[in-house]
């Protein structure tokens, strides 16, 4: 590992799961963060102590991240209300990657497992503000932690880890039954949480207006695309019929592999991103991470190169046949192409290849999730504009058309913009989780458990409106780049200018135009 500045070390000690699993700082292998109340206070006091970064952009980037942590752990004390902070520290997802010899990774994993009792002790001590909705939403992933323990784990280590996991489950079960009925942070708190780490002031009223306008635009685009498939019928009716044509649970992986290959090939042919190397595998999502339909775990910037992994989540075996079918609609030929563009290329996988080339530890280790998800979401509509639908129609055949791809993009975008509306609604107290689930059912193709899962996510992921927010900021910047660069503008230049910054906070994204 390279020399790590003291200011980044203070950040890393509060975010060890992020540092290990997303940045590849493997000095944190086997050493999950201590998120007990006293330790958090001590680590907060260390933030900002150290030398100023020589590059003005890197200084602004790091300062925004520090302020975000002060808000998360200091002002709002989210580690006292949100189990996800502690669940992240228990996760074992990255140890099976070939970043180090197997014996070294096994030893680190077992050290991590040995720390589970300490992590759970900290979680139980901290989570004294746990709401019933947040506890309910994360019960299944916490229960799923047991499946992450490797089969060859020594019996005594397994027994101690499982005992700790059961205590965490019991704590959440009690809160699910007896906790506060509302997970709402309040409007001012949500605005601070969203804006601090992005180096921006957030006006929730204005953002709600933008979300409503974007929803209306997307519905118009959806209507135009569905009219090419079945004119005269209601757009959502056409969409919901199309997504019923989906693979079974076993076939979802094969379909994801097909669309992964096509997305990578198209991105390379159009030269949409700076780098086109690397390997992307498609795998089944581990149980503890199945609160979303799909996810990308890329080859991290500060570890030896290896395959990135596109995880696809099967339906819960406990669900009914109808519930499982509703979940699998997300893997239909209408929706899976857009998901794969987002997760793979030119989305997360392509971004990960650029992150490995980002210059300096700030850009390589401090990712803005609003930029990461905003970028991947932006690439979906980019691929509509650049002709991926016609490209895939020629390659796939079998009744798939460009209109199918476009319908999937607009459907995914409607889910993303509804997340923004739901997050603001739930955390300002204007919506319950049930209200948000109904909104997903009205404005998106989601139904049943998929709609409810999306609504519940707002309780433990209050900034999950970042997809649309980040996309809108990138689109705004792109128009400014067209104006400033004139004849010198190209998509390749614009994309490279942004990705050279790693995953910058939205508030400092303008550096891309100054230096691009």
Q: Are 305 and 278 in contact (CB under 8 A)?
A: yes
Cα dihedral sign, 486-489-494-496: negative
The 10s digit of each residue's pLDDT in 358-377 is 999 999 999 999 999 999 99
Q: In what order do the strands lie in the sheet with 308-312?
A: 280-284, 308-312, 294-297
The 10s digit of each residue's pLDDT in 441-450 is 999 988 788 8
Collapsing DSSP states into helix, strand and coil, what is residue 474?
helix
Q: Which of 298-302, 340-344, 477-481 has the lowest mean pLDDT?
A: 298-302
CA dihedral 322, 327, 333, 338 (to 10 degrees): 160
Q: How far is CA 299 from each of CA 2, 339, 356, rounded to the nearest angstrom? A: 17, 19, 8
CA distance 184 to 199: 23
Q: Which of 160-174, 199-213, 252-266, 276-290 has the lowest mean pLDDT?
A: 276-290
Q: Which of 161-170, 266-275, 306-315, 504-513 has the lowest mean pLDDT?
A: 306-315
The 10s digit of each residue's pLDDT in 292-331 is 778 999 999 998 899 999 999 888 888 888 888 888 888 8
* Alpha-helical runs (H) found in 146-296: 155-178, 187-196, 204-229, 235-242, 251-270
pLDDT at 25: 93
Query: E strands within 23-115?
Result: none
With a cut of 60, say whether residue 289 has pLDDT above it: yes
For residue 363, give both structure tokens.
């850009």
Q: Are 442 and 454 in contact (CB under 8 A)?
A: no
pLDDT band at 291, cuts 50/70/90?
Answer: low
Q: What is the 3-state secondary structure (H, E, C) of 316-363?
A: CCCCCHHHHHHHHHHHCCCCHHHHHHHHCCCCHHHHHHHHCCCCCHHH
Mean pLDDT of the chain, nearest integer: 94
What are the residue ranges spanned by the domains of the chain? 6-181, 204-472
CA dihedral 317, 320, 321, 327 (to 10 degrees): -70
CA distance 349 to 347: 6
Q: How far is CA 11 from each of CA 302, 398, 429, rounded to the nearest angstrom? A: 16, 51, 31
pLDDT at 330: 80
> What number of CA atoms fall less than 13 Å from residue 220's CA on the CB side?
6
CA distance 293 to 445: 14
Q: Are 180 and 434 in contact (CB under 8 A)?
A: no
| pTM for the model | 0.93
Q: In which element (H, E) is residue 106 found?
A: helix 102-114
pLDDT at 318: 81
Tell me if the bond preceding 346 is cis, omega within 30° of 0.
yes
CA distance 332 to 243: 5
With a cut of 70, say whether residue 288 has pLDDT above it: no
Cα–Cα nearest to 443, from 244, 225, 233, 212: 212
Q: Are 85 and 39 in contact (CB under 8 A)?
A: no
Pairing of strands 280-284, 294-297: unpaired
With a cut of 80, say whether residue 3 has pLDDT above it: no
pLDDT band at 453, cuts 50/70/90?
Answer: confident
> What residues contact 126, with CB distance under 8 A and at least 6 apart?
35, 36, 37, 40, 79, 80, 86
With a cut of 60, say whether residue 2 has pLDDT above it: no
With tokens 């009690």, the residue in question is: 174
**315 phi/psi in degrees, rounded to 5:** -65, 155
Collapsing DSSP states into helix, strand and coil, what is residue 309?
strand
pLDDT band at 44, cuts 50/70/90?
Answer: very high
For residue 214, give both structure tokens.
């974007």
pLDDT at 299: 92
Cα dihedral sign, 446-195-32-39: negative
> What number of CA atoms fall less than 13 Å from residue 64's CA on the CB side?
29
DSSP states along 263-297 = HHHHHHHHT-SS-----EEEEEPPGGGTTSSEEEE
> What residues contact 185, with CB distance under 8 A and at least 6 apart?
76, 193, 427, 462
**19 phi/psi in degrees, rounded to 5:** -65, -40
Collapsing DSSP states into helix, strand and coil, what is residue 466?
helix
Mean per-residue pLDDT, 93-113: 92
CA distance 299 to 278: 9
The 10s digit of each residue's pLDDT in 391-408 is 999 999 889 999 999 999
pLDDT at 212: 96
Output DSSP code: residue 53.
Answer: P
pLDDT at 430: 94
CA distance 350 to 256: 16
The CA-to-CA distance between both ends of the chain, in Å, stands at: 29
pLDDT at 1: 44
């Amino acid at each position: 590992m390279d020399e790590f500045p003291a200011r980044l070390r203070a950040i890393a000690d509060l975010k060890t799961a992020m540092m290990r699993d997303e940045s590849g700082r493997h000095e944190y292998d086997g050493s999950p963060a201590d998120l007990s109340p006293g330790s958090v206070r001590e680590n907060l006091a260390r933030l900002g102590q150290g030398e100023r970064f020589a590059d003005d952009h890197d200084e602004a980037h790091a300062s925004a991240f520090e302020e975000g942590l002060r808000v998360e752990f200091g002002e709002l004390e989210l580690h006292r209300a949100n189990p996800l902070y502690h669940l992240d520290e228990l996760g074992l997802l990255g140890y099976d990657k070939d970043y180090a010899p197997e014996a070294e990774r096994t030893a680190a994993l077992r050290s991590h497992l040995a720390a589970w009792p300490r992590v759970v002790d900290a979680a139980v001590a901290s989570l004294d503000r746990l709401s019933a909705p947040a506890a309910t939403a994360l019960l299944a992933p916490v229960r799923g932690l047991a499946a992450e323990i490797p089969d060859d784990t020594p019996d005594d280590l397994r027994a101690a880890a499982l005992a700790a996991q059961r205590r965490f489950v019991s704590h959440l079960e009690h809160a699910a039954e007896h906790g506060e009925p509302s997970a709402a942070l309040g409007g001012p708190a949500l605005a601070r949480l969203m804006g601090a780490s992005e180096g921006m002031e957030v006006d929730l009223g204005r953002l709600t207006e933008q979300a409503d306008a974007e929803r209306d635009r997307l519905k118009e685009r959806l209507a135009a695309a569905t009219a090419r498939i079945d004119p005269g019928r209601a757009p959502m009716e056409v969409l919901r019929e199309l997504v019923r044509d989906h693979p079974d649970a076993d076939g979802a992986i094969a379909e994801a592999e097909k669309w992964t290959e096509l997305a990578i090939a198209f991105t390379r042919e159009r030269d949409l991103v700076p780098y086109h190397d690397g390997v992307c595998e498609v795998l089944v999502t581990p149980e503890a991470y199945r609160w979303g339909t799909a996810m990308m775990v890329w080859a991290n910037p500060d570890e030896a190169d290896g395959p990135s992994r596109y995880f696809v989540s099967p339906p819960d075996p406990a669900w009914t046949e109808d519930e499982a079918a509703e979940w699998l609609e997300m893997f239909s030929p209408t929706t899976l192409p857009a998901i794969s563009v987002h997760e793979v290329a030119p989305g997360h996988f392509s971004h990960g290849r650029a992150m490995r080339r980002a210059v300096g530890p700030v850009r390589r280790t401090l990712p803005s999730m609003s930029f990461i998800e905003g970028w991947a979401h932006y690439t979906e509509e980019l691929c509509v504009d650049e002709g991926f639908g016609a490209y895939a129609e020629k390659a796939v055949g079998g009744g798939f058309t460009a209109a199918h791809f476009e319908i999937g993009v607009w459907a995914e975008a409607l889910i993303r913009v509804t997340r923004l509306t739901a997050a603001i609604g739930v955390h300002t107290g204007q919506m319950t989780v049930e209200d948000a689930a109904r909104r997903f059912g009205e404005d998106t193709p989601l139904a049943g458990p998929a709609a409810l899962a999306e609504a519940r996510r707002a309780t433990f992921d209050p900034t999950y409106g970042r997809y649309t927010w980040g996309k809108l900021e990138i689109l705004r910047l792109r128009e400014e780049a067209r104006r400033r660069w004139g004849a010198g503008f190209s998509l390749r230049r614009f994309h490279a200018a942004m990705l050279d910054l790693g995953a910058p906070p939205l508030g400092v994204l303008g550096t891309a135009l100054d230096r691009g």
